[in-house]
Chain A
Amino acid sequence: MDKGPAKEKQGGTPPRFGGWFTPTAEQGEALFGYAMIVPSVLIVMFFTAGPILASIGLSLYKWDVISPPRFTGLSNYERLAADDTVLHSFVVTIGLAFSIVVLEIVIGLALALLVQQRRSRTARATFRTIFYLPLLASASSVAIVMGYMFDQKFGVINYYLGLLGISHIPWLVSDFGATATIVIIVVWQQLGFAFVLFVAALGAMPTDVLEAATIDGAGPVQTFFLVKLPMISPTVFFVAVVGMINAMQLFDQPYVLTKGGPGYSTTTTVLLIYQTAFQNLQFGYGSAISVVLLLILIALTAFQFLGARKLVHYQ
């Protein structure tokens, strides 16, 4: 602390540049600021911001990595607009994402409300830990495990359903079954995320508001819809946006469980990009699909923000 010469009290020790440049206090602060952000800026520039622009550029080329890239203008986009596989993958992705997010919010909120009713702290903490545990496994591990559990003939799930008189659901070998399996395992694993956020939001709610509602004679259903839900709406909104962005990127589960099948029923857009670019070596076309996916994500997020203006109450 006492290394700097006494006369430089105000500005501390300015950085030295071989004696030919002595920065003022403001310049010293600015230089320090730039030095501090350099590592993050380089990483974000090279590995996120740059690649976004590069994707757009690449999407105008035809390139199989082996021969040199050939500029083809918008032809990748023309091909995409008529490619049923790509269009179908958007439908699959949005359908999966929407189902997952709705179920996560409804079930997560229901469980959070129920846990909040528990008076014992230990009980609340235990349930929170239990609902969080699935998040500790990797999505690919969960997919491996669930692949065995949902097996049509030998799986433990069809075994127990069989005891209930429901016989042999074709979980992974039918279009609907495979879609349902993926929704179920994603919701099963990620429920803890929504749950933890809802518990935190409900816990932060001022008790006097709830007491006032009770005194005014509001029942539990009224209290929920008229008081609690509006007050936690920012959290619901956050879970919806983050959940949607995550679910739009589903890859590990369909890759491990179904490879996109049967047929194309679980081929998400991200899985299709992987197959197009890294298995069929169509880097230009893959980039075009990526760009469209990015646009859809931006549009969805913007749409959610606009909708939120009407529905979300920030205090």
Chain B
Amino acid sequence: MSTALLFLRARRATGLVVLIAAAIISLAPLVWTLSTSLRTPADAFTNPPAWFPIHPDWFNYQAVFEEVPLLTFFVNSVIVTGLIVAGQTLTCMMSGYAFAMIRFPARGKIFMVFLATMMVPLQATIIPVFILIRWMGLADSLGSLIIPALGGAFGTFLMRQYFLQMPRELGEAARIDGASHFQVFWLIYARMAAPAVAALATLNFSGFWSEFYRPLIFLSDQSKYTLPLGLVGLQGNLGTGSVSVVLAGVVVAIVPSIILFAFAQRYFIEGITAGSLK
């Protein structure tokens, strides 16, 4: 074996060692969370941690549902995330399609306004939005989270880019055969947009399932809390006593994301990469 080849092998081996080390760092906090959630509260802070619990103790999972209304938080999160994902997907499909395929006066100007708002972070406008929410009578309701998120500049942009790649001839042919504008949209193009719809839906799911900022500001009654807000409250109230109970709650909150990711991994990845296309 030549020295050059030996050198190449050594380099590849070093690369693998670095990758494995990075993978361990990436996984360790997740594994620690799961294993500590399966230890008795008294053991939670003993070091070294039991990375692989030999006698898993499911008590914490029972306790977390009893100490706080975790089920209520969970249901609230499902309602909020579900309605936003469904609603925003639909409105963004509609507006993205119109901006890409339909001719109407001021189309370019309206789209420019959309693009301009895309960069504006929610945090910079939260005060007027909060006042508006109160004025609309939505304060302390799940609607305060859902309604402002039923449309979006980014989703519109994403869908428009996707529709722009589609052949116009299909729709023109269908129009000549007597299909209405809506039928062309709904029966032809909307169906072809499934991959973009899936990417937008998973992206929105990740974002809104994890959302903490708006719930913190808009909700005050514990029965309206979503999971992230409820878990932070649980951690704050209980202090350091029941670490493993809090961690059980954290695990419950991440399970739906992991299940969805297992089935739709490619759309999560596409959702990220779709945004980077010029």
Instruction: Please report A residues at the B interface, Cβ cutoff 8 Å.
Output: 1-2, 4, 6, 8-10, 12-13, 26, 28-34, 36-37, 39-44, 46-52, 54-55, 58, 107, 110-111, 114-115, 117-118, 127-142, 144-149, 154, 156, 159-160, 188, 191-193, 196-197, 200, 220, 234-235, 238-239, 242, 245, 248-249, 251-252, 255-256, 270, 273-274, 277-278, 283, 286-287, 290-291, 293-294, 297-298, 301, 314
CA distance A234 to B243 in the complex (A): 44
CA distance A142 to B217 in the complex (A): 20
Asked whether A44 lies within 8 Å of B153 as measured between CB atoms, the reply is yes
Task: Return the chain A residue nearest B101 by Cβ.
Answer: A33
29 residue pairs bridging A and B, Cβ less than 8 Å apart = A1-B177, A6-B178, A9-B176, A9-B178, A12-B181, A34-B98, A39-B94, A44-B114, A51-B127, A55-B127, A111-B19, A114-B18, A117-B15, A130-B27, A132-B261, A140-B210, A140-B212, A141-B228, A145-B29, A154-B47, A156-B47, A156-B48, A188-B26, A200-B276, A242-B276, A252-B228, A286-B127, A290-B125, A297-B124
Task: Return the chain B residue nearest A4 by Cβ.
Answer: B178
Interface of B, helix, strand, loop or mixed by DSSP: helix
Most chain B CB neighbours (cut-off 10 Å) among A43, A149, A188: A43
List of A residues within 8 angstroms of B99 by Cβ: 37
List of A residues within 8 angstroms of B128 by Cβ: 50-51, 54-55, 58, 287
List of A residues within 8 angstroms of B212 by Cβ: 138-140, 251-252, 255
Also in contact, A39 and B151, with CB within 8 A (given A1-B178, A32-B182): yes
Asked whether B29 lies within 8 Å of A52 as measured between CB atoms, the reply is no
Most chain A CB neighbours (cut-off 10 Å) among B156, B185, B273: B273
Asked whether A137 lies within 8 Å of B250 as measured between CB atoms, the reply is yes
List of A residues within 8 angstroms of B247 by Cβ: 145, 148
Asked whether A136 lies within 8 Å of B217 as measured between CB atoms, the reply is no
Asked whether A39 lies within 8 Å of B26 as measured between CB atoms, the reply is no
Asked whether B272 lies within 8 Å of A36 as measured between CB atoms, the reply is no
| Chain B, range 249-270, C-beta contacts under 8 Å to A | 250, 253-254, 257-258, 261, 265, 268-269
Also in contact, A44 and B121, with CB within 8 A (given A136-B261, A139-B210, A238-B276): no
Query: Which of B52-60, B66-74, B103-111 lines the interface with chain A?
Result: B103-111
Task: Return the chain B residue nearest A237 by Cβ.
Answer: B276
Task: Return the chain A residue nearest B176 by Cβ.
Answer: A9
List of A residues within 8 angstroms of B176 by Cβ: 9-10
Task: Return the chain B residue nearest A284 by Cβ.
Answer: B127
* B226, chain A: closest CB distance, angstroms: 10
How many A-B contacts are there with CB distance less than 8 Å? 283
Asked whether B278 lies within 8 Å of A314 as measured between CB atoms, the reply is yes
Also in contact, A111 and B22, with CB within 8 A (given A13-B180, A136-B254): yes
List of A residues within 8 angstroms of B127 by Cβ: 51, 55, 58, 273, 277, 283, 286-287, 290
Asked whether A135 lies within 8 Å of B104 as measured between CB atoms, the reply is no
Task: Return the chain A residue nearest B45 by Cβ.
Answer: A154
Also in contact, A144 and B124, with CB within 8 A (given A251-B213, A252-B213): no
| Count class of interface residues, chain B | 35 or more
Asked whether B180 lies within 8 Å of A4 as measured between CB atoms, the reply is yes
Asked whether A114 lies within 8 Å of B19 as measured between CB atoms, the reply is yes
Asked whether A256 lies within 8 Å of B232 as measured between CB atoms, the reply is yes
